[in-house]
Amino acid sequence: MKIWALLLTTTLLLFACNFTKQNSQAPNINWTQLDEPPLFLDCPTDDVKLNWDCFTKTLEKKLQSKWATNKLSFGNLNDTLYVTLKVDTLGQISVLNYKNSAKPQTSMDIFYAIEEVIASLPLLQPAFKTNLEVPVEAQWILPVAISK
């Protein structure tokens, strides 16, 4: 009888104990404004603001050159196109989507030109998670003013 009581007590203790491991929470590896942003390596990398200004000016010059080469005419179009860009963990920049400000009459040639210019850019230094020093994807919206 003592053996059965001991066996029953042991069994109840085993079932009563919680053997599940607590899962440690994975660190947040999404890029935030507090982390290191992607850097355009053809521009000065000491100051993030200067790097961003240089990147946007370079992109603007390349777009104007592309539009002039393709002889794109905007007519009376005066619009802002919001281009969502992504830099992956390898530094490759790509276009995710577009959004017009109000007028849906933007020519597809403009979209193709923007995609070609973005694809022709050299690799960027990817964004880094500051506390982990791991490369992460970053996205941002770049306004592109289109006017005659």
Running DSSP on this structure, what letter comes out for residue 70?
A: T
Give the separation between CA 79 and CA 73, rounded to whole angstroms: 13
Topology (CATH) of 33-146: 3.30.1150
Average pLDDT over residues 116-143: 87
Burial of 72 (0-12, 13-18, 19+ CB in 10 A): middle
> How does residue 102 score in pLDDT terms, banded at 50, 70 and 90?
low
Task: Locate the domains of the chain by residue range.
Answer: 33-146
Give the separation between CA 25 and CA 15, rounded to whole angstroms: 26
Q: Among residues 43, 122, 57, 123, which one has the least CA distance to residue 90?
A: 123
Q: Among residues 131, 113, 117, which one has the least CA distance to residue 35?
A: 131
Q: What average pLDDT does the chain have?
A: 79
Instruction: Pick left, alpha or beta for residue 127 (phi over 0 → left; psi -120 to 50 → alpha; otherwise beta).
Output: beta
pLDDT tens track for 4-18: 776 667 776 666 665
Q: Which tokens in the block code for residue 141?
A: 């919206």
> How does residue 111 score in pLDDT terms, banded at 50, 70 and 90?
confident
Q: Which tokens in the block code for residue 103?
A: 């007028």
pLDDT tens track for 67-82: 888 776 666 667 788 8
